[in-house]
Amino acid sequence: KKIRKYKSFTLKQAGWKLLKDNVIEINKQKYKYFKSRDIEGIVKTITIKRDTLGDIYLYFVCETNENKVLARTGKSVGYDFGLKQFLTASDNEDIKAPLFFKQNSNDIKKANRILSRKKRGSNHRRLAKIALARLHKKIANQRKDFQFKLANVICKKYVLICIEDLNIKGMQKRWGRKISDYGFAEFIKILEYKARKVGSVVQKIDRYYPSSQICHVCGTKNPETKNLAVREWICEKCKTSHDRDRNAAINIWKVGASTFFGEI
């Protein structure tokens, strides 16, 4: 089919037509598609993309008359992104992350071994590459599904969500694959998108704010916590015992809330 010759192209007002029963007509050729969600508003453009597996996706850009959602009254929370768990919450409602890449690591290793044994240029090697690519796509879909569902729960529960403005590239250089497996950057985008839909606010604090070093009770700074190996510490001034990530989450919540209400 003609559509399979291209990796990506955009159609504006002409050259396509939406028909009944999830059928689209492009250049007089009809295609059946699966609709993941209802199309809202007036379709302005359609972008058609084909991935490395040959799967084709339709992206509809629509003009809608959405009313601005007013901020609700409700609870607020601060989240610290961590390596031991996905989100440590200021209110103890922590979120563990299923490490999908790690869960599927044995299947990935097996698929890579199979691929390495295939003769270059052969059809068997082409099929092995497709099998490996489908496995990576499965992992990406699992991660995205988890993140969308989690963002929905958080945005419905909290009106104000305080997080750090993370240096994702720096974290990836330091911790590598685990950061990619968590997908922090993608989750933040999804969280902000869902927040706008329901009227919640995602408040970011400065990435250089030492949230894990400051006692959330008395404000005393402990320079020893610059060492990431220090997971628990006791404040010299007020003698409060701190868990590093929990203390950081509470500080993020305090600073984020004060910044937000100061902007109103």
Q: Is 21 one of the catalytic residues?
A: no
**Which has the closest alpha carbon to 162: 49, 62, 256?**
256
Residues 150 and 51 in one domain: no
pLDDT score of 255 more than 60: yes
Contact (Cβ atoms closer than 8 angstroms) between residue 178 and residue 219:
no
Q: What are phi and psi of 214, to 5 degrees?
A: -100, 130
What does the pLDDT read at residue 66?
63
On whether residue 26 sits in a domain, the answer given is yes
3-state SS string for 159-174: EEEEEECCCHHHHHHH
Percent of the chain with pLDDT over 70: 88
Q: What are phi and psi of 44, to 5 degrees?
A: -100, -45
pLDDT score of 105 more than 60: yes
Residues 37 and 92 in one domain: no
- Average pLDDT (133-162) is 92
Residues 81 and 57 in one domain: no
On whether residue 221 sits in a domain, the answer given is yes
Which is more confident, 4 or 207?
207
Distance of CA 242 to the CA centre of its chain: 29
Which is more confident, 50 or 70?
50
Candidates 63, 66, 80, 94; catalytic one: 80
H/E stretch holding 44 reads strand 42-50
Residues 53 and 81 in one domain: no
On whether residue 166 sits in a domain, the answer given is yes
On whether residue 68 sits in a domain, the answer given is no
Average pLDDT, the chain: 85
Instruction: Give the residue from 63, 84, 101 where a domain finishes.
Output: 63
**Which has the closest alpha carbon to 100: 147, 132, 133?**
147
Q: Is 80 one of the catalytic residues?
A: yes
Domain count, the chain: 2
Residues 162 and 187 in one domain: yes
Residues 125 and 198 in one domain: yes
- Average pLDDT (206-222) is 91
Residues 8 and 80 in one domain: no
Residues 198 and 108 in one domain: yes
- pTM equals 0.78
Render pLDDT for 150-189 as a digit per residue (tens, 0 to 9). Answer: 999 999 999 999 999 877 676 766 666 667 777 888 899 9
Q: Is 263 one of the catalytic residues?
A: no
CA–CA distance, 50 with 71 (Å, rounded to integer): 39
pLDDT score of 23 more than 80: yes
Residues 118 and 138 in one domain: yes
On whether residue 70 sits in a domain, the answer given is no
What does the pLDDT read at residue 89?
95
Which is more confident, 13 or 191?
191
Residues 44 and 83 in one domain: no
On whether residue 242 sits in a domain, the answer given is yes
Q: Give the confidence band of 9 by pLDDT, cuts at 50, 70, 90.
A: low
Candidates 40, 93, 192, 245; catalytic one: 245
What does the pLDDT read at residue 63?
83
Residues 11 and 80 in one domain: no
pLDDT score of 71 more than 60: no
On whether residue 258 sits in a domain, the answer given is yes
Q: What are phi and psi of 115, to 5 degrees?
A: -65, -40
SS3 label, residue 231: coil
pLDDT score of 73 more than 80: no
Which domain does 55 fall in, by range? 2-63
Instruction: Give the residue from 38, 63, 88 where a domain finishes.
Output: 63
Which is more confident, 180 or 221?
221
Candidates 93, 145, 164, 206; catalytic one: 164
pLDDT score of 87 more than 70: yes
- Average pLDDT (127-136) is 92
Residues 143 and 250 in one domain: yes
On whether residue 69 sits in a domain, the answer given is no
Q: Give the confidence band of 129 by pLDDT, cuts at 50, 70, 90.
A: very high
Residue 245 CB coordination number (10 Å):
23
Instruction: Give the residue from 63, 83, 109 where a domain finishes.
Output: 63
